[in-house]
Chain A
């Protein structure tokens, strides 16, 4: 099954770059001959959907800010579990939500992945510019990588 692992986030926005760090860690852990591709991206909505076309399965790794868990907590869930609050309005004035983008692609007959899972790391320092992760988030990187590997075996 053609699988894409995307480390998502902005690599110069502090802990928002955690997705990239996890993806980089995974390139050392995953056999390059498999049908699994690993990439990093700073995309959302339509562009992110377009990156996903052609794969049956996608795992997205990103920071998440809910305020409901301690920093560094790793959560795993399917994309469908994320409430699409943006059916009537936009995720931002600038893009549509990933869920809406995937629905749009499907409606015009594009082959969207059949399974999209999210590995999310709870973070707070995602608004200040830095190349580095804060300590709590740095510690979560191997845990998040472990969760991705578990998903692949799933």
Chain B
């Protein structure tokens, strides 16, 4: 028997990202509201399922980053059963994860965020997509992008049992290992990935950094916010996407806190606003001060840029060089310009590829010891990984049979809800003055702010046409609609 809870149609936006802009008496922006109907229903649906199903169920939260949910769920389920997987299992899971990261970051740069840059700010609208990018960078490069995705999917299939939606993680490890033959294939693909990552960084250097208009845009004030930054680090404070502790630095780059996954609730709280169903995570010990920048505001960001900012470096050599070049070019740490996220994403792409090869050549990677049978009674567990778009937290409570009784998820993009709102506000404010609305450029500037975060708003639906168009409504001080701008 399902109980239907009716949600007001205005906020149940059916996949739309809806932005409401309120103007003041002078015709300038008074406030912007970015509304999202996040599918929190997932946490209810999972209650009553055996916890070992969670890596399979949470796969289906998203069609683009199922691997991230799978890993966070796997780690949470391990903790629920108080079992530590054998070293080989951890190596294999991280290896799968690095291949996934390469695929995801590649796709974002070339197909999603990249068009903003590679095409040039004055490129016609119809060219600002992957087709335009291929046209500009050449067919060979387009072919490399597809190749990178293919290799990534292959590795996920070999270790994870299935392309895109892995199914081999169970509490205590994996259901299978890999053969030497498979290992060789994986290593070869990884070496190709390293070259491809370096190629991508060079492309960015030539096309983006070589274009003054873009450099000005990156360094400009419109996308600049001084906030806290979050990322998962190993014991040397080097970025690790699969395991470690979560480190947060303040707007000046100083470490603010470093917490173990099980302690996340002591440090992260969620603020509620009446006009949206998604809550705003913030740093508990700083407090919620509103949608503002600065050290006294608990707003934090979790993105590739955040990870670079909250680290002391990258654990692999070529990526470390790029990390140093990144900061010396942009004037030191931390970097606050949101558009630099695209560059940071490419540094991470290189790290993921290098780490892929490191793991594929580890002597223990083909060991048959890939599972430890749990023996303790299941209770509660937290699994945290870095999803490409931010720190991902899965928290499960179960009964003594391992049946889920409660679920809490803080999805990558959720961390960034406040920063995204602030970026949209700033972009809109700079383009709407004295009631003059510049339509096309404004939507582009807002979308650019949005896209840099590589957001994922529970896009778990595949209903045709399956989209998340943007709708921007501009209202006068009384709330009357002046104009509605739509995309898609």
Chain A residues in the interface with B (C-beta under 8 A): 8-13, 16, 19, 42-44, 46-47, 50, 62-65, 82, 85-97, 100-101, 103-105, 107-110, 118, 120, 123, 126-130
Also in contact, A94 and B468, with CB within 8 A (given A46-B107, A100-B130, A108-B142): yes
Contacting pair A93 B455 (CB below 8 A): yes
- B401: CB under 8 A from chain A? no
B466 close to chain A: CB less than 8 A: yes
Whether a CB of chain A sits under 8 angstroms from the CB of B257 is no
Interface 1/0s, chain B 46-57, versus A by CB < 8 A? 000000000001
A65 and B111: CB pair below 8 A?
no
A residues near B450, Cβ cutoff 8 Å: 93
Given contacts A42-B462, A50-B146, A89-B487, 7 further A-B contacts (CB under 8 A): A16-B461, A85-B469, A93-B456, A96-B111, A120-B464, A126-B461, A130-B45
Interface magnitude class on chain B: 35 or more
Q: Tell which of A10, A88, A105, A129 touches B462, judged by Cβ atoms closer than 8 Å.
A: A10
Map CB proximity to A onto B144-155 as digits: 1 under 8 Å, 0 otherwise.
001001100100
B111 to chain A, nearest CB (A): 6
CB within 8 Å for A63 and B462 given contacts A93-B454, A93-B456, A128-B41: yes
B45 CB contacts on chain A under 8 angstroms: 12, 129-130
Asked whether A9 lies within 8 Å of B462 as measured between CB atoms, the reply is yes
**Does chain A have a CB within 8 A of B63?**
yes
11 A/B residue pairs, CB under 8 Å, sorted by A: A44-B462, A63-B463, A82-B464, A86-B467, A87-B125, A88-B129, A94-B459, A95-B111, A100-B129, A100-B131, A101-B130
Knowing A43-B164, A47-B164, say if A89 contacts B461 (CB, 8 Å).
Answer: no
Given contacts A47-B164, A107-B139, contact A16 B463 (CB under 8 A): yes
Q: Which 10 pairs between the two chains have the least Cβ-Cβ distance?
A: A129-B45, A88-B125, A92-B468, A108-B142, A64-B464, A9-B462, A126-B463, A65-B463, A108-B143, A63-B463
Q: Chain A: interface secondary structure?
A: loop
Other-chain contact of A107, B142, B467, B488 (Cβ < 8 Å):
B142
With both beta carbons as reference points, the residue of chain B lying nearest to A110 in the complex is identified as B146
Give CA–CA (A124, B45) in the complex, Å.
Answer: 19
Asked if B39 CB lies within 8 Å of chain A CBs, one says yes
Cross-chain contact A104 with B461 (CB below 8 angstroms): no
Question: Which residues of chain A have C-beta atoms less than 8 A from B467's C-beta?
Answer: 85-86, 91-92, 97
Q: Closest CB of chain B to A42's CB: distance in Å?
A: 5
In the complex, what residue of chain B is closest to A105 when comparing beta carbons? B146
A87 and B126 within 8 A (CB): yes
Our pick among A47, A82, A109, A118 for the contact of B139 (Cβ within 8 Å) is A109
In whole angstroms, what is the CA distance A126 to B14 when docked? 9
Q: Is B342 an interface residue (CB 8 A)?
A: no
Cross-interface CB contact of A94 among B12, B112, B488, cutoff 8 Å = B112
- In the complex, the answer to whether A90 meets B463 with C-beta atoms within 8 Å is no
Distance of A63 Cα from B466 Cα, bound (Å): 10
Are the CB atoms of A94 and B461 closer together than 8 Å? no
In the complex, chain B residues whose CB is within 8 Å of the CB of A19: 462
Chain A residue at smallest Cβ distance from B464: A64
Is the C-beta of B460 less than 8 angstroms from some C-beta in chain A?
A: yes
Least CB distance, B358 to chain A, in whole angstroms: 27
Complex contacts, B135 vs chain A, CB 8 Å: 107
> Whole-angstrom distance between the alpha carbons of A9 and B463 in the complex?
7
CB-CB under 8 A from B41, the residues of chain A are: 127-129
Contact of B129 among A16, A90, A109 (CB under 8 A): A90
The answer to whether B146 touches A94, judged by C-beta atoms less than 8 angstroms apart, is: no
**What's the nearest-Cβ distance from chain B to residue A66, in Å?**
8
Chain A residues with CB under 8 A of B90: none
In the complex with contacts A86-B488, A93-B450, A118-B464, A12-B134 CB distance below 8 A: no
Give residues of chain B (468-488) contacting chain A, Cβ–Cβ below 8 Å.
Answer: 468-470, 487-488
Q: Are A93 and B468 in contact (CB under 8 A)?
A: yes
- Which of B12, B165, B464 counts the most chain A CB atoms within 10 A? B464
In contact, B146 and A13 (Cβ under 8 angstroms): no
Asked whether A127 lies within 8 Å of B464 as measured between CB atoms, the reply is no
Alpha-carbon distance between A129 and B47 when the two chains are bound, in angstroms: 12
Whether the pair A96, B488 counts as a contact (CB closer than 8 A) is: no
- Report how far A12 CA is from B111 CA in the complex, Å: 28
Q: Are B462 and A85 in contact (CB under 8 A)?
A: no
When distances are taken between beta carbons in the complex, the residues of chain A under 8 Å from B165 are: 42
Complex interface: chain A residues within 8 A of B128 (CB): 88-89
| CB of B42 closer than 8 Å to a CB of A | yes
Q: Is B64 an interface residue (CB 8 A)?
A: yes
Q: A82-B465, A91-B465, A93-B450 are in contact. Are A10 and B146 (CB under 8 A)?
A: no
Inter-chain contact B134/A89, CB cutoff 8 Å: no
Q: Identify the closest chain B residue to A15 (Cβ).
A: B463
* Set of chain B residues within 8 Å of A82, measured between Cβ atoms: 464-465
What B residues does A97 contact at CB under 8 A?
Answer: 465, 467
Shortest distance from the beta carbon of B219 to any chain A beta carbon, whole Å:
24
Contacts of A105 in B (CB 8 A): 146
Tell me the bound Cα distance from A129 to B60 in angstroms: 11
Q: With contacts A93-B112, A127-B14 known, is A108 near B461, CB below 8 A?
A: no
> Once the chains bind, are A107 and B134 in contact (CB under 8 Å)?
yes
Q: Which of A8, A62, A108 contacts B134 (CB 8 A)?
A: A108
**Min CB–CB distance A143 → chain B (angstroms):** 17
- How distant is the Cα of A90 from the Cα of B135 in the complex, in angstroms? 17
Closest-CB distance, B278 to chain A (whole angstroms): 15
